[in-house]
Structure 1
Amino acid sequence: MKLSLGFSPCPNDTFIFDALIHHKIDTEGLEFEVFFDDVETLNQKAMRGALDITKLSFHAFAYVCDQYALLDSGSALGFGVGPLLICHNENLVKSKGSLDATLKVGIPGRYTTANFLMGIAFPHLTNKQEMIFSEIESALLEDKIDLGLIIHENRFTYADKGLHKIIDLGNYWEQETGCAIPLGGIVINRSLDQATKEKVNRLIKKSVEYAFANPKSALEFIRQHAQEMSEEVMYKHIDLYVNQYSIELGIEGRKAIDVMFKMAQEKGIISPLKQKIYLIA
């Protein structure tokens, strides 16, 4: 049986899925057709129900939970892992509490969790321009935008390019809720039979566990898809986004996700969810 699988080319995802797609673990008769896309493209594909299994932002998941269920393995949650709001003009750092509503913000996608968090912290910043996450730093340096909302490995590179942090939205979330920040999850199409869905969840868990036990095994695959990153930066990225929640969400991981959706509903960002979101009860 072949299933379509979408995830990003970022080191955390290639680290997680290397053992699965390269048969370093027993895939129990399943094959995977892999699609590499940035997170917002994956979000949009999920909106169309285009893939059997996909990584997506938790914000986007709220809009597709009628089509997809959340797997217990493969998610990206954590502390100190949130998106950053940055700028080129250092004076804006000093005025973060009163950022002008006219400022143009480059965001990595409408349905990203990063955009959701910025909407909570700075609801007046509505002049947004969507772009590929890896283009935001350049757009700031070229003064095409005033503020940039960065995710993934860019949190390790922006300062070296002369850009400045206004606020760490992950820290903001943690102070508001006391929870880990839910960034992205792995979901599976509800139309698949239950046995297949549970098998996929089990295999992704095994793939993460294999990666932790053999951290250098995926190095060639990670490097093949990374954006001109040094090995040190690649593994910093992995250490930041792949953790115990990636093996299984557990009580604390589920609590963080539930708090995010509850807050989003209370603020009118999303409609009430009508489906049970978790595959595993």
Structure 2
Amino acid sequence: MSTEVVTEIRVGHSPDPDDAFMFHALANDKIETGRYRFTHQLQDIETLNRRALDAELELTAVSLHGYAFLTDTYALCACGASVGDDYGPMVVTREPMGIDDLKGKTIAVPGTLTTAFLGLNLCLGGCPKGEHSPRNLHTEGDAGAFRYVVHPFDEILNVVERGEADAGLIIHEGQLTYGDQGLNLVVDLGKWWLQETGLPLPLGANAIRKDLGQPAMDEVTALLKQSIQYGLDHRQEALEYALQFGRDLDPTKADKFVGMYVNDWTLDFGERGRKAVATLLERGHEAGIIPEPVELEFIG
């Protein structure tokens, strides 16, 4: 009889196709995990960012913006990233307008700890202050250059279509489907960021809790990388699993969306990806949005 102690790893990730693709092997027992048992909790990224502030989960998807507030308790896994390489979160409106037209407008956003929200502030010159600091939980606020209201990410297209906000900041598969609702693209923040910095826009990552200790952090991160590689090596199988999380996506769009956010960047940030993370968080700090300089720690 084995006396090996089983270690439970509670995993948090978003209920969308790219995360499902990434975690398919771990969720469906496709790889050997040794003494680790993974249990999965699917929630939107802003909820996971908020839960990470309380260090609730051993391994969790986080926004890179959110990670700026988590460095005491979590390290970043070198694998598992979602990176927008000349694409990313978008601002859409009912009527065509330019970037400067967004200033002073009310924009529906998917959460103030999302990287999309940080990118929007950097693009428009916004800086939430005081009670409207991104770390504080609130449903609306003033970023100086624009006002914002927080909505679940999968409601934002509908909010804009109904005219309940002047514009919407969209993430996940909304980047492929906004045109189906007759909405207009104002700015793709991934394209804007590449023009500004020459770097891809790092959006999300996986963070692992430091109190697990270095050996476990290394081993769990290695298993995460195995799961990502399994999905890439068994693409059709992983896509079929991921499709159940693809709101309004047909198989072709789901394949495209997964390809956007599960790729070589996901296997490892690499030198350029790490530079992109550092640059993003430095710019956020310089703009006054992130209160303290961020010391990055990567595992794997």
Other-structure match for 2:217: 197
C-alpha distance in 2, partners of 1:254/1:247? 13
C-alpha distance in 2, partners of 1:219/1:269? 37
Asked if 1 retains the 8 angstrom alpha-carbon contact of 2:87 and 2:189, the reply is no
TM-score (norm 2): 0.88
Other-structure match for 2:259: 239
Residue 28 (structure 1) shift: 2.0
C-alpha distance in 1, partners of 2:102/2:267? 39
Residue 275 (structure 1) shift: 4.4
Alpha-carbon spacing, 1:185–1:231, altered in 2? closer, same or farther (3 Å): same
Residue 48 (structure 1) shift: 1.4
Residue 9 of structure 1 aligns with an amino acid whose one-letter code is P
Residue 84 (structure 1) shift: 0.6
Other-structure match for 2:135: none
Residue 199 of structure 2 aligns with an amino acid whose one-letter code is C
* Unpaired stretches in structure 1, ≥5 consecutive residues: none
Alpha-carbon spacing, 1:237–1:53, altered in 2? closer, same or farther (3 Å): same
Other-structure match for 1:96: 99
Residue 276 (structure 1) shift: 4.3
Q: Report the RMSD for the aligned CA atoms in angstroms.
A: 1.4
Identity percentage of aligned residues: 32
Asked if 2 retains the 8 angstrom alpha-carbon contact of 1:209 and 1:247, the reply is yes
Please point out which of 18, 24, 35 is paired with 2:30.
24
Other-structure match for 2:230: 210
Please point out which of 263, 272, 277 is paired with 1:252.
272
Spell out structure 1 runs of 4+ moving beyond 6 A.
none
Other-structure match for 2:45: 39
Q: How many aligned positions are there?
A: 276
* Secondary structure of residue in 2 paired with 1:171: helix
Other-structure match for 1:12: 18
Give the alignment of 1:66-81 within 5 angstroms: 66-81=72-87
Residue 180 (structure 1) shift: 1.0
Asked if 1 retains the 8 angstrom alpha-carbon contact of 2:23 and 2:227, the reply is yes
C-alpha distance in 2, partners of 1:138/1:13? 23
Pairing 1:136–2:156 present? yes
TM-score (norm 1): 0.94
Residue 164 (structure 1) shift: 0.2
C-alpha distance in 2, partners of 1:6/1:192? 16
C-alpha distance in 2, partners of 1:141/1:258? 36
Alpha-carbon spacing, 1:162–1:187, altered in 2? closer, same or farther (3 Å): same
Pairing 1:121–2:141 present? no
Residue 251 of structure 1 aligns with an amino acid whose one-letter code is E
Asked if 1 retains the 8 angstrom alpha-carbon contact of 2:239 and 2:255, the reply is no
* Secondary structure of residue in 2 paired with 1:182: strand
